[in-house]
Structure 1
C-alpha cells in the first residue's frame, strides 16, 4: 500500500518464441510507485507464464464455435425438412377436389410453415438463443397472405414487436397462435372483398409478455364462446396458450381481438 503517493499499473499479454521453438504466452505487469510530487520511487515488474491458460481459452473458443456451427446446421436441416412436409401437403391439397378437405391440408401446411420460419430465422440470426420476432412475423404474415391469395392493399397487416425477443419455445408457440388467429381473420373477418386491417402487437413488462391479435372485420357471432367452439384452429389456440402458462381474453365488436398474456421468459 502506498501512503500519500501514487501507484500506476500497466499490464499486457504477449507472445514469445522459446529457444526450443515453442510459443510461450506471458502476462507482464508493471507498477510504478511515485511520491506525492510524482517522482518515481521504484518500479515493480512481474512476468507470469500463462501459456496453459491461453491454450485452455482457445480450446473453449474452438468448442463454442463448433457448437454454434452444429446448432446452425440443425436449424437449417429442421427448416428444410419442415418446408418439404409443408410443400407436400400443399401439393396434396391441389389434388383434392373437395374444397373442404383441400383446406384441411392447406391449413396443416401453414402450421408447419410457421414452425419452419422460426428455424430459418435462428439459422440466419447472430443470436441462436433468441428469435428476431419482428422479422419472423413479417415473414409469417407475408406467407399467409400469399397462401390465401390476399391483396395486401385491401387487407393491411400492422405489426408492432420492436425490441421484443422470445426464446425458441415461446416463439414457436406464439407463431402457431398468430398463424391460427390471422388465418381465421383472413377466412371470415372480411367477406365479399371487404377491406380492413389486422394488427399483431407484442408488449412486455418485467414479468409478463402480452400478445394482441385483432382485426376490424365483421366480428364474431353474439354469445360466441371460443372455449366451446368446434373450430380446430381456436381449440389449438387455447391449447397453445395453456402451454405458455398464459391466459386468453376475447373482445368482439368492433371487429375481433384476442389478448394472450403469459409469463416472460428470458432468451
Structure 2
C-alpha cells in the first residue's frame, strides 16, 4: 500500500482525494457562508420588523394617550359647564320656589279674607230674612223663611270654619257638622219642643264645595225629620257620618217616626227634596230612603277623594 502511494499513481490518487475533499469543504464553506448570510439577512429583517412594530405601537399608544387626554379635557370642560348650568338652574328654581311660596301665602290670605267677608255677608242676609220673618203673620211663610235661614247658616258656617282654620281648601267635617247640628237642634227645638237630635260624626277632611253640599243635605234631611216624622212632636232624630273603605263615607239621617210611604210625594212644597237631589248630583251620589218599622232612614254614600284638579290644603 505504501509502495502504491510512492508511485505516480498514488500521487494522482492523493491529488484526486485532496481535490474531492477540498470541493466538499468548499461547498460546505459556501453553504455555511450562505446560511450565515441568510441568517444575518433574517436577523436584519427581524430587527427591521421589530423596529417598525415598535414604532407602530408607540404611534398607537401615543394616539390613544392623546385621544384620552383630549377626551378627558373635553369631559372636564363639559362637566364644568354642566355644573355651572346646574347651579344656575338650582338658583332659578330656588328663587321661583320662594316666589311661588310668597304668591301662595298671599292667595291664602286673600282667600281667607274672602271667606270672612262671605260669612259676614251671609250673616247679614240671614238677619234680613229673620227680620222679614218677624214681619209676617202667615205660619207657612214664617216656616219657609226659617228653613231659608238654616240653609244660609249651613253655607255661612263653612266659610266661618275656613276663616278660623289654617286651611282654606278643606273642612273638618266632624267640627263643621257638629256646629251645624247644634245650631239645628236649637233652631228646630224652638219649633218642635219634644224632638231631640243626636249625632255621631267620624273625623273626615273634605273639600270646601263638597262640605257645603253635604251641609245643605244634612240641613234639609234633619229639618224634614223634625217637621214630619213625629206628628205628636215627641221622638229622636239621629245623624251618623262614618268613614268607609276606598275613600268613601256614609251619611245616615234616621228617625223612629211614622215613616214614609214608598212612592209618596214629598210633603210640603217639595223644595227641600229638590234641593237634596241637586246637592246629591253635585256629590256624585244618590240618596236612598229605607223604610223601617218604625221610622225612615235616609242613606247617602259619597266619595271623599279629592276631585281632579283640586288639592286639599
The answer to whether TM tops 0.5 is yes
Equivalent residues in 2 for 1:171-190, closer than 5 Å: 171-190=211-230
Shift of residue 227 of structure 1?
A: 7.2
SS in 1 for 2:259: coil
Contact 2:226 2:237 survives alignment (8 Å): no
Q: Is the strand fraction higher in 1 or 2?
A: 1
Matched, 1:73 2:113: yes
Q: How do residues 120-159 of structure 1 correspond to structure 2 at under 5 angstroms?
A: 120-150=160-190, 155-159=195-199
Q: Distance in 2 between matches of 1:151 and 1:195?
A: 14
Aligned with 1:231 (options 249, 270, 280)? 270
> Which is higher, the Rg of structure 1 or of structure 2?
2
- Residue 3 of structure 1 is matched in structure 2 by none
SS at match of 1:206: coil
**Partner residue in 2 for 1:205:** 245
Deviation at 1:170, TM superposition (A): 1.0
CA distance in 2 between counterparts of 1:191 and 1:228 reads 13
Residue 91 of structure 1: aligned partner: 131
- Identify the residue that residue 108 of structure 1 maps to in structure 2: 148
SS at 2:232 equivalent? helix
Output the CA distance in 2 between the equivalents of 1:134 and 1:159. Answer: 10
What is the TM-score when the length of structure 2 is the normalising length? 0.62
Contact 2:185 / 2:196 at 8 angstroms: preserved in 1? no
Contact 1:229–1:235 (Cα < 8 Å) also in 2:
no
Post-superposition shift, 1:160?
A: 2.7
Partners of 2:229 and 2:259 within 8 A in 1: yes
The answer to whether 1:167 aligns with 2:210 is: no
Q: Greater helix share, 1 or 2?
A: 2
When structure 1 is superposed on structure 2, of 194-203 and 244-253 the one drifting more is 194-203
For 1:13-46, what per-residue CA distance to the aligned partner results, in whole angstroms no more than 9, with x for missing partners? Answer: xxxxxxxxxxxxxxxxxxxxxxxxxxxxxxxxxx
Structure 1: 5+ residue stretches without partners: 1-47
Q: Shift of the alpha carbon at 1:54?
A: 4.9
Give the distance between the partners of 1:156 and 1:103, measured in 2 at CA: 19
The separation in 2 between residues aligned to 1:255 and 1:102, in whole angstroms, is 27
Q: Between Structure 1 and Structure 2, how many residues are aligned?
A: 219
The residue number in structure 1 matching 2:99 is 59
The answer to whether the 8 A contact 1:111-1:176 is kept is yes
What CA deviation, in whole Å up to 9, does each residue of 1:67-118 have, x standing for no partner? 1111100111111111111111111011100101111111111111111011
Greater shift, 99-108 or 227-236, is seen at 227-236
Structure 2 CA distance for partners of 1:193 and 1:140, relative to 1, 3 Å: same
2:288 paired residue among 235, 240, 249: 249
Flag structure 2 segments of 5+ consecutive residues without an equivalent.
1-86, 307-311
- TM-score, normalization by structure 1: 0.72
Partner of 2:254: 214
Separation in structure 1 between the aligned mates of residue 268 and residue 150 of structure 2, nearest angstrom: 21
Post-superposition Cα deviations, 1:170-202, rounded to whole Å, max 9, x if no partner, equal 111111100000011121223334132422323
Residues 146, 89 of structure 1: CA spacing in aligned structure 2 closer, same or farther, 3 A cutoff?
same
Query: In the alignment, which residue of structure 1 is the partner of 2:47?
Result: none
In the alignment, which of 232, 242, 246 is matched to residue 192 of structure 1?
A: 232
Q: Which residue of 1 aligns with 2:43?
A: none
